Structure 1
């Protein structure tokens, strides 16, 4: 059963990595903004997830999250700042850069989580956390400068959106813990997608997009992003937690940036020199170091669960 969970996490991570590459192709070939793509993705995936929840577990399980005022407010905040925040910043980073760098920068989310937990517990990070933090900084430096302080290897916009994406991912991970524990992941994720999609549609109406451009290839890419890049990996990842621990899932999710980098180099002509690849590896190792650690009594890592990890 553990092997089943491992393959489910790896499958989810690969799907997410491919989704970023599909979004990069979308921006390269069609006249679209990140806001429009994210609005379509969130609305489509969110509605499908709610419908599936109704079919599998009944209407009550899908709509009961709206029955308590406090939970409604929490869900609305999570939908706008969490789900919409992490999706929009990630796709904006792809739009201004590429899928590989956007995925790697978003992968710094656990580093920001450790910083937040350290501040909340008023304790200095342990040795492994400090090593991971240094590795992350080195990785960012190599990725963004190519080893030279005089030039940036990626645009300022791509870097800023990528860092914002990592911050949003940290908030997305920490904020909805109680909501998920009470109502389950599928209704919370599905409704937060719908909330984020509706909110973004007010500023980026999908009906203002020229849907005639690209015909079949346009719809094929959108379908891939919604089904393969959103619904399937969410189901695989959430269901895998029955068989593997969250720490193991976090380590296995390193397949996402690896997929994005390999696909970018092989098929999307993403240019990365040896220094940038070393930087990418540093970021991946930093996250593995953070997640693969024994519980400790008197360190940030040991008390992380009490602070929201």
Structure 2
């Protein structure tokens, strides 16, 4: 039992770390290797979807069961286009227009949107604690984006808008996936969702329309990392870890993702954070932890 728990911790840490590094490598590809974000999202979704489903087949696990039921099949297609494609595209666009650290932290405000949805849909009462958490998140986001002054926006407005869209779509993604995840393996659901989203994105920007992308060795290594390690392996490892850990432990270890995105951006890409911006980041992460670890 102890060995399994240790394995779960290692898998969760690796998975969350790869997610965090994935954002920084994606930023490098967009801003230094001039990879088009539309082509990148198409390639990433198609590649990771095929890899995840392939891993299931190698492990001799079924992947077609979801298609045997019309209700679940329609549910999966809608989830893939609105949820998976929505969150993946908006997150990458936020990185392309801004940076991976801010994009990741903005996406991590998703639990607040989940709370608001549950309140307005009358699935839970509006508590005093909710008000405090929402205010703290707004203050944290304000400090992160401005450093305490409207005249000092740290990222373009386009990056902020896409980052907030990624938070809203992640909230939808989280809530809407519950039905599918209650009946089918997480990797099967995510694998199919990525593949379907990639096929949908292919109609917007075909994978063969590479444009002016120069496939240097740096570009190729970056693409391989983001598709294989930063997406497919990260999802696989993190969801494997859930079987060995409690929900609270998984949540705590999952916060390594934004921390890794921040530190790798500072060390590798030279991103500068002021003290007030770091305070804003800490507020956002703190609220995410409180929301995730609350008993209800």
Partner Cα separation in structure 1 for residue 127 and residue 134 of structure 2: 11
Q: Give the drift of 1:251.
A: 2.5
Deviates more, 1:239-248 or 1:268-277: 239-248
Partner Cα separation in structure 1 for residue 226 and residue 43 of structure 2: 10
Partner Cα separation in structure 1 for residue 154 and residue 217 of structure 2: 35
Q: Give the drift of 1:133.
A: 1.7
Match of 2:204 in 1: 203
Match of 2:52 in 1: 49
Corresponding residue to 2:21 among 18, 21, 24: 18
Contact kept? 2:34, 2:213, Cα under 8 Å: no
Partner Cα separation in structure 2 for residue 13 and residue 161 of structure 1: 22
Partner Cα separation in structure 2 for residue 16 and residue 160 of structure 1: 21
Partner Cα separation in structure 2 for residue 186 and residue 6 of structure 1: 19
Please show how residues 271-282 of structure 1 align to structure 2 within 5 Å: 271-282=272-283
Contact kept? 2:98, 2:159, Cα under 8 Å: yes
Corresponding residue to 2:42 among 39, 55, 76: 39
Match of 2:84 in 1: 83
Deviates more, 1:108-117 or 1:73-82: 108-117
Contact kept? 2:39, 2:209, Cα under 8 Å: no
Cα pair distance change 1:127/1:248, threshold 3 Å: farther
Partner Cα separation in structure 2 for residue 132 and residue 244 of structure 1: 26
Match of 1:119 in 2: 120
Contact kept? 1:128, 1:289, Cα under 8 Å: no
Partner Cα separation in structure 1 for residue 246 and residue 121 of structure 2: 24
1:8 is aligned to 2:1? no
Partner Cα separation in structure 1 for residue 284 and residue 242 of structure 2: 24
Q: Give the drift of 1:210.
A: 4.3
Contact kept? 1:251, 1:287, Cα under 8 Å: no
Q: Give the drift of 1:122.
A: 5.4
Match of 1:101 in 2: 102
Cα pair distance change 1:117/1:262, threshold 3 Å: same
Deviates more, 1:278-287 or 1:142-151: 142-151
5+ long unaligned stretches in structure 2? none
CA RMSD of aligned residues (A): 1.6
Q: Give the drift of 1:144.
A: 1.4
Match of 1:245 in 2: 246
Contact kept? 1:132, 1:287, Cα under 8 Å: no
Partner Cα separation in structure 1 for residue 142 and residue 69 of structure 2: 46
Match of 1:216 in 2: 217
Match of 1:260 in 2: 261
Q: Give the drift of 1:107.
A: 0.7
Partner Cα separation in structure 1 for residue 260 and residue 50 of structure 2: 28
Contact kept? 2:8, 2:241, Cα under 8 Å: yes
Contact kept? 2:36, 2:213, Cα under 8 Å: no
Contact kept? 2:91, 2:162, Cα under 8 Å: yes
User: TM-score under structure 2 normalisation?
Assistant: 0.94
User: TM-score under structure 1 normalisation?
Assistant: 0.90
Partner Cα separation in structure 1 for residue 292 and residue 184 of structure 2: 26
